[in-house]
């Protein structure tokens, strides 16, 4: 038990390492593998075109410089294209303004400042308690509350770190076996076999654990059965009520339009306690909406009868408003495949891929989604092509159709499909992103890897090779 607890601490601490630690680690890796000479920084790609007669990708950056390569591998991430609110006046604000995904390198001071933050997703939930510590006054604009649970990040002692290091082989083996590659085991127990006391005991235990246990080691029904989900949601709501002193604020912070775990669960460190500070105010955008950003701040309008508008003045505005997720980074580049086919056109109803890594009509292009496995898989694939003196690989239309059906099928039954979020492809700030789609693979990572390995074992005969 001790061993597992230590490992959980390590893995979960890793998911929320502070910026400076992450940067230090990236620099360490760059130095260790002498990667800098192979990386060109500060380069934004504008277009990518497949030249079929040469079996080559031609990639152009925003300065007009052209690069060619046989294979094109995209590692753009699913959350890399930040979006601002689609309200007028964003450029009018005269104070400091930042999107959380484009935070400046220089330290930002909140001291004695009136700060407004728009959004209450995972990013805002981590930023708010930090800002609240030093800010003059913080106003949080919340459109939809989320179900956040404690991260329980803690310092790891040298002895614990030593234990973790010696346990790496076992740890990595374990991460290969879990559904979402986290340390948490799936719970095979049914909520309906447990007494109310047993449920409470499990939930208290999970709520006190570091990381995603409350989400991933909970009773098997909570993500697929409304009644089960209502019970666990009520438990988390109770916890929120205990932590927020003002009962009205607590109610505003408890989601009413979706259940626990049906959106990506934000992990927090004293998020709810931030609202107990006199210098933090929550503005509910349920009865009101942002009318516009003004020179001085944010103009709110009432959207229900009898609710008045209000102007909030700020020295600083923070947009924690999320991303044009999953396909947004692809849409920002003009991808052209065989016969002039546009990726934007192909994906207008949502992403259509084979194995999540390749697209029909765009040969020799691979997309890295799940980093480690995808990199190994495609490196082996390219190695195979070279070994066989082949230079063209293309996903078949039929393969894409079958894979897309598989992705849709394994997604069936999840309550998360009934909710607007980036995981269902919805972003109210982006035209054409209002309809829910299956935007990501909802199956088990174990099954996903096996399917990809089967394709490799069959010498990639599911692809057109030339």
Residue number of the CB atom closest to ligand NAP: 121
Q: How far is CA 372 from CA 42, 169, 376, 431, in A?
A: 24, 16, 6, 33
Question: Quick one: tokens of 416?
Answer: 């998360």
Q: Which is nearer to ligand NAP, 50 or 275 (CB)?
A: 275
Q: Which is nearer to ligand NAP, 264 or 342 (CB)?
A: 264
Taking the complex as a whole, the smallest distance from the CB of residue 406 to ligand NAP amounts, in Å, to: 23
DSSP conformation letters of 251-267 = HHHS-SSS-TTSSPPPE
Q: Which is nearer to ligand NAP, 354 or 422 (CB)?
A: 422
Taking the complex as a whole, the smallest distance from the CB of residue 341 to ligand NAP amounts, in Å, to: 30
**Cα 307 from Cα 305, distance rounded (Å):** 6
Q: Which is nearer to ligand NAP, 122 or 244 (CB)?
A: 122
Q: Which is nearer to ligand NAP, 411 or 424 (CB)?
A: 424
Q: How far is CA 323 from CA 78, 230, 251, in A?
A: 9, 29, 27
**Cα 107 from Cα 45, distance rounded (Å):** 29
Taking the complex as a whole, the smallest distance from the CB of residue 47 to ligand NAP amounts, in Å, to: 27
Question: Quick one: tokens of 442?
Answer: 């909802």
Residues that bind ligand NAP (CB under 6 A): 15-16, 79, 85, 87, 118-124, 126, 141, 143-144, 264, 267, 285, 290, 320-322, 422, 428-429
Taking the complex as a whole, the smallest distance from the CB of residue 86 to ligand NAP amounts, in Å, to: 6
Taking the complex as a whole, the smallest distance from the CB of residue 320 to ligand NAP amounts, in Å, to: 6
Residue 269: exposed, middle, or buried by beta-carbon count in 10 A (0-12, 13-18, 19+)? middle
**Cα 13 from Cα 247, distance rounded (Å):** 31
Angle, helices 445-457 vs 371-387, to 10°: value is 0
Q: Which is nearer to ligand NAP, 156 or 426 (CB)?
A: 426
Taking the complex as a whole, the smallest distance from the CB of residue 266 to ligand NAP amounts, in Å, to: 7
**Cα 146 from Cα 133, distance rounded (Å):** 22
**Cα 124 from Cα 113, distance rounded (Å):** 18
Residue 193: exposed, middle, or buried by beta-carbon count in 10 A (0-12, 13-18, 19+)? exposed
Q: Which is nearer to ligand NAP, 81 or 123 (CB)?
A: 123
Report strand pairing: 297-302 vs 288-293: antiparallel
Taking the complex as a whole, the smallest distance from the CB of residue 40 to ligand NAP amounts, in Å, to: 26
Taking the complex as a whole, the smallest distance from the CB of residue 292 to ligand NAP amounts, in Å, to: 11
Q: Which residue has the tokens 């709810």?
A: 272
Q: Which is nearer to ligand NAP, 292 or 296 (CB)?
A: 292
Q: Which residue has the tokens 């989601």?
A: 255
Q: Which is nearer to ligand NAP, 16 or 76 (CB)?
A: 16
Q: What residues contact residue 188 under an 8 Å CB cut-off, 6+ apart? A: 220
Taking the complex as a whole, the smallest distance from the CB of residue 11 to ligand NAP amounts, in Å, to: 12
Q: How far is CA 416 from CA 133, 328, 329, 437, in A?
A: 34, 20, 23, 11
């Amino acid at each position: 038990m001790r061993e597992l607890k230590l490992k959980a601490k390590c893995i979960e601490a890793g998911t929320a390492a502070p910026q400076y630690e992450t940067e230090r680690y990236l620099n360490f890796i760059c130095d260790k593998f002498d990667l800098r000479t192979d990386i060109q920084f500060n380069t934004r790609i504008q277009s990518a075109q497949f030249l079929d007669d040469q079996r080559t990708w031609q990639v152009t950056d925003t300065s007009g410089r052209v690069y060619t390569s046989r294979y094109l591998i995209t590692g753009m991430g699913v959350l890399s294209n930040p979006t601002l609110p689609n309200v007028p006046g964003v450029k009018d604000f005269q104070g400091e303004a930042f999107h959380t995904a484009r935070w400046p390198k220089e330290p930002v001071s909140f001291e004695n400042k009136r700060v407004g933050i728009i959004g209450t997703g995972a990013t805002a939930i981590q930023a708010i308690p930090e800002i609240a510590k030093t800010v003059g006054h913080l106003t949080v604009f919340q459109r939809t509350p989320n179900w956040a649970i404690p991260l329980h990040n803690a310092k790891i002692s040298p002895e614990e770190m030593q234990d973790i290091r010696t346990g790496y082989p076992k740890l990595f083996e374990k991460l290969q076996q879990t559904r979402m590659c986290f340390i948490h085991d799936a719970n095979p127990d049914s909520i309906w076999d447990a007494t109310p006391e047993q449920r409470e005991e499990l939930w208290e235990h999970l709520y006190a654990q570091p990381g995603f246990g409350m989400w991933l080691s909970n009773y098997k029904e909570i993500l697929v059965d409304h009644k089960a989900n209502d019970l666990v949601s009520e438990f988390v709501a109770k916890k929120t009520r205990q932590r927020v002193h003002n009962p009205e604020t607590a109610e505003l912070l408890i989601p009413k339009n979706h259940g626990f775990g049906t959106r990506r669960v934000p992990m927090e460190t004293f998020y709810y306690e931030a609202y107990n500070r006199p210098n933090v105010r929550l503005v509910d955008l349920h009865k009101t909406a942002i009318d516009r950003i003004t020179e001085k701040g944010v103009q709110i309008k009432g959207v229900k009868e009898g609710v008045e508008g209000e102007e909030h003045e700020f020295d600083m505005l923070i947009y924690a408003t999320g991303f044009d997720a999953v396909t947004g980074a692809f849409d920002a580049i003009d991808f052209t495949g065989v016969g002039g086919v546009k990726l934007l056109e192909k994906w207008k109803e949502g992403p259509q891929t084979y194995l999540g890594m390749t697209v029909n009509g765009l040969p020799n292009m691979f997309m890295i989604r799940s980093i480690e496995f995808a990199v190994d898989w495609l490196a082996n694939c390219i190695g195979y092509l070279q070994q066989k003196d082949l230079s063209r690989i293309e996903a078949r239309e039929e393969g894409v159709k079958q894979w897309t059906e598989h992705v849709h099928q394994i997604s069936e039954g999840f309550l998360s499909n009934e909710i607007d979020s980036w995981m269902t492809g919805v972003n109210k700030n982006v035209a054409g992103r209002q309809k829910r789609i299956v935007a990501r693979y909802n199956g088990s990572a174990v099954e996903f890897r096996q399917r990809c390995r089967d394709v490799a074992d069959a010498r990639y005969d599911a692809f057109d090779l030339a």
